[in-house]
């Protein structure tokens, strides 16, 4: 089934159904930046809520923050982003196209893939942070940067969060928010963007049992992917070799998903040692160590991080859910999304327009409970089913002539197409059971 899915089909479906649009579409779009439409923003909210639940655990508290997007220069010096957060780039002197040298398609010993001429510049480092300036004076002191990861706002607020919540190690600080990277070559739609959201959790613990905590979080993240219905045969774990670890990491394992363009990183779980807190402590002059009364010692906590992009996960789920199959003699496109992820939970149809009034009454009732319910009275029932299948609606409810006689409706399952007749009084429970 899923061999039918391609990046082009997902991009087209997203635009056609209103999940995702190119940003500033009427001006021709912006490379690597997207807006999410009604269905897209509902689906994103579902993902974020599920993620927030998934970081709850039995080892310690999780505190949430909503940090600022702009950080001062000093903060990014301390974190190492000004010195280390760059990609190697190269330009073709003939067609002026710019590439990452670590791109799979680029071999500097071969001609440019865009124009076929071999005339490369030297390789240079390109810092991926967006720089801006605070206030009217364009001097060095006013330089600031949009955050390239949400994590640093967590680290710099670590002491405030700890003291205001009277937190005890181990505990986590979690955040969902925007991150910005001036990617040299944004590509594969939502896979590599310039403006995106991250869901990050920084777990603060003692160094002595941090490897055990690392394994715990790796397992927890695996359970999350199982729970949201991802085909686990398409997930693999990739441990970064020592020589490729980020400047802050002692161990990193990625969850990779098998996209049509190969296995690629979906989420990273990293043992960040106490690098970040030590750096911020050194550069800010503030003591970020935690005192342990039991042992009468102080320690700068070690951090285990879990980090996934909202849009990258969104794209993964669309690839994973997309199917083309035969139903009622037709080829249909269906998104077999987990009901918790599906943006619309059910749709109500009157069989014909004449039945709209009682059908709409049922729709209003269901909407009061489930909020995101559709009502559709246009076109044949078959077409209406197809429209809902394409956006992943788990249940369709048809109000027909029999409904008038005996207060029953038909309910249709998205994945199998099977239909049952049930009492209208039981519809609410039927939907609740399907989407729980
Ligand atoms: N705080 C650690 C960190 O930012 P990362 O591997 O650079 O690590 C974490 O990013 C996650 O953020 C990735 O696994 C991916 O899901 C998402 N991500 C990173 N860059 C992205 C981009 N340009 N577009 C979309 N998502 C991105």
Are 281 and 288 a contacting pair, CB within 8 Å?
yes
| Residues 104-156: tens digit of each pLDDT | 788 999 999 999 999 999 999 999 999 999 998 878 889 999 999 999 999 99
Nearest CA to ligand 1 atom 19: 309
Q: Where are the beta strands (DSSP E) in 206-281?
A: 235-239, 251-259, 262-271
Rounded Cα distance between 244 and 79, Å, is 18
Are 254 and 237 a contacting pair, CB within 8 Å?
yes
Residue-wise DSSP of 238-250: EEPPGGGS-TT-S
CA 185–ligand 1 middle distance (angstroms): 15
> In a mutational test of the pocket of ligand 1, which residue from 23, 149, 251, 259 has the highest number of ligand atoms less than 8 Å from its CB?
149
Are 46 and 155 a contacting pair, CB within 8 Å?
no
Residue 107 gets which letter from DSSP? -
Residue 414 gets which letter from DSSP? T
Taking residues 209-213, report their average pLDDT: 97
CA 356–ligand 1 middle distance (angstroms): 47
Instruction: Judge whether residue 48 has pLDDT over 90.
Output: yes
Domains of the chain: 7-76+128-318 (3.30.930.10), 86-126 (no CATH), 344-434 (3.40.50.800)
Residues with CB under 6 A from ligand 1: 149, 151, 181, 183, 192-193, 196, 198, 200, 265-268, 305, 307-309, 311-312
Instruction: Judge whether residue 351 has pLDDT over 50.
Output: yes
pLDDT at 4: 79
What SS3 class is residue 377? coil
What SS3 class is residue 88? strand
Of 357, 417, 350, nearest to 377 by C-alpha is 350
Beta carbons within 8 Å of 109's beta carbon, 6+ residues apart = none
pLDDT at 1: 47
Of 42, 33, 47, nearest to 320 by C-alpha is 47
pLDDT at 19: 98
Taking residues 50-64, report their average pLDDT: 98
CA 309–ligand 1 middle distance (angstroms): 6
CA 89–ligand 1 middle distance (angstroms): 19
Instruction: Judge whether residue 3 has pLDDT over 70.
Output: no
Which strands sit side by side in the sheet containing 70-72, from one edge to the other?
70-72, 143-146, 131-133
pTM: 0.95
């Amino acid at each position: 089934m899923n061999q039918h899915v391609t990046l082009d089909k997902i991009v087209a479906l997203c635009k056609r159904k209103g999940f995702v649009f190119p940003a500033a579409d009427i001006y021709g779009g912006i490379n690597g930046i997207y807006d999410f439409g009604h269905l897209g923003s509902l689906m994103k909210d579902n993902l974020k809520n599920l993620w927030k639940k998934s970081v709850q655990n039995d080892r310690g508290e999780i505190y949430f923050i909503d940090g600022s997007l702009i950080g001062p220069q000093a903060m990014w010096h301390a974190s190492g982003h000004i010195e280390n957060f760059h990609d190697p780039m190269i330009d073709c002197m003939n067609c002026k196209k710019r590439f990452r040298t670590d791109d799979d398609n680029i071999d500097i010993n071969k001609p440019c893939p865009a124009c076929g001429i071999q005339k490369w510049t030297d390789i240079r480092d390109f810092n991926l942070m967006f720089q801006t300036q605070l206030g009217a004076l364009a001097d060095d002191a006013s330089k600031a940067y949009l955050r390239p990861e949400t994590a640093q706002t967590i680290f710099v607020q670590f002491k405030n969060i700890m003291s205001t919540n009277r937190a005890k190690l181990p505990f986590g600080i979690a955040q969902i928010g925007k991150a910005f990277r001036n990617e040299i070559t944004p590509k594969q739609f939502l896979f590599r963007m310039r403006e995106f959201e991250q869901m990050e959790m920084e777990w603060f613990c003692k160094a002595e049992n941090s490897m055990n905590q690392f394994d715990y979080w790796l397992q927890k993240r695996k359970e999350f992917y199982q729970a949201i219905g991802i085909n686990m045969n398409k997930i693999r774990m990739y441990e970064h070799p020592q020589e490729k670890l980020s400047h802050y990491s002692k161990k990193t394992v990625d969850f990779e998903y098998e996209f049509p363009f190969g296995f690629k990183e979906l989420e990273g779980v990293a043992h960040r040692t106490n690098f970040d807190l030590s750096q911020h402590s050194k550069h800010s002059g503030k003591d970020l160590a935690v005192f342990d009364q039991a042992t009468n010692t102080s320690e700068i906590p070690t951090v285990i991080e879990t980090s996934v992009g909202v849009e990258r996960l969104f794209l993964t789920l669309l690839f994973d859910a997309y199917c083309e199959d035969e139903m009622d003699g037709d080829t249909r496109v269906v998104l077999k999304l987990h009901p918790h992820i599906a943006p619309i939970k059910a749709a109500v149809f009157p069989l014909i327009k004449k039945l709209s009034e009682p059908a709409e009454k049922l729709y209003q009732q269901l909407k009061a409970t489930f909020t995101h319910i559709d009502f559709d009275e246009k076109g044949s029932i078959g077409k209406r089913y197809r429209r809902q299948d394409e956006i992943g609606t788990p249940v369709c409810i048809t109000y027909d002539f029999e409904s008038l006689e005996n207060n029953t409706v038909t309910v249709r399952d998205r994945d199998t197409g099977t239909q049952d007749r049930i009492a209208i009084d039981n519809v609410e429970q039927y939907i609740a059971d399907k989407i729980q």
